[in-house]
Structure 1
Amino acid sequence: MISFVNLDIELNRKPVFSNLNLTIQPGELVFIAGKSGSGKSTLLKTMYMEIKPKKGELIIAGYNSRTIKKREIPLLRRKLGIVFQDFRLLEDRSVYDNLAFVLKVTGTKEKLIREKVMHALESVGLSDVAGELPIRLSGGEQQRVSIARALVREPLVILADEPTGNLDPDTSIEILEYLKKINQKGIIVVIGTHDYELIRHSPSRTLLIQDRSLVEASIREGATGFRPVPA
């Protein structure tokens, strides 16, 4: 479960969110929608505690922002999978080694690494490119590797920050379908996006960033905007 209680978030001493109260239940897929610069990335960074809330508390994967110690933040992140818009793959290492590195730094036994890496790559349909360098892959394939890397540690939560921002519409839908499959395993998936078409393709719980807060919303049929969900 993810819980925000009276949460205030600042970035460079400027208020971004005020008095957020939100609960995301296990197994939910949630879109965080908003235009560029509205605070989507800031909110996701707060979830993996790169940014500390100014006030209130955030509870995620069993850790509380009020009480978590600095040395515990890497332990929290082992329970999270993070997918970025720009992939952030190690270009001088093979696809396999990009995933294996994540496991090696957390002390996974060698005999388990291959099993976990290949299982993660199979889950995104890329077991046949394990030996390739990321630069040889298409943008969509690189993002699927990024998703596999997020998945390889068997996280409780996937946080995806504009995961289709650099991709064409058809590839964007393909990436969304992989994230949905992950969600169907019971993993919370939170997707920050400004792409209304992505949300329209697969309607799910949508939180619209509005006036430093989050509003439950649904996308309007035939329009490029949202409407509030009646309370």
Structure 2
Amino acid sequence: MKGLDPRTRLLLGLVFTVTVLTTQTRPVLLMEAAALWSLLVVLRLVRSWSASLRLTLPMIALVFLVSILAFDAPTAVDLSVRLHNLFAASFVFFQVLTAEELAQALEAMRVPHVFVFMLTTALRYVPLMTQKIKNIRAAQTARGLDLRLRPRNIGHFTALVVPLLFQAFILADHLALAMESRGFSRRKGRTASRLGRFRLQDAGAALTALLLCALLLWWDQRGAV
């Protein structure tokens, strides 16, 4: 999949996300979940996704509990599976498309550079902030603070949040100084790396994805009637 054009990978991610959001019936949602797990196996991302589930499963469980209290069990299952599919699709998308490739694809689509810069900068800072959270947590734990997820430890999390906010402000200040020193707002006619033309495999992948998603939505509409 990484051999495809970045614009093709971006299109595939958007098409599947829209398909998940517009799906209404449980069988189609379960088919989408099975397709995502098959894709994770093919791309050898199961281990990485299993590690990410430790962060996403609590949120999915919370959605399930709130939904079952507010609606009913079938609705809670549907919302939980849909949320799982969105998380899995986002995980696959950002594993096969780097921030640089996403910027190239968006600029090739004539998206304003300021928006592209904001998006790609945020994506680049996510792993950096994740590492800073780990460092702060390790430092506070070494000082004797219990930061495990327990009700009695809620007050301790200020020792994690406050240093993290300071680190975020410092990073934002450094980025602003670097942008100002390079005249970011005054640069006109900036050059960007050019992407090649769509190849036959790109067109084939895009058409196949569109046809499969259209078939799923057609089946979903029939099941919803």
- Does the pair score TM above 0.5? no
Structure that is richer in helix per residue: 2
Shorter-normalised TM range: under 0.3
Higher relative contact order (CA 8 A, sep 6+): 2
Query: TM-score scaled to structure 2, two decimals?
Result: 0.24
Query: TM-score scaled to structure 1, two decimals?
Result: 0.24
Which of these two proteins has the greater Rg computed from alpha carbons?
2
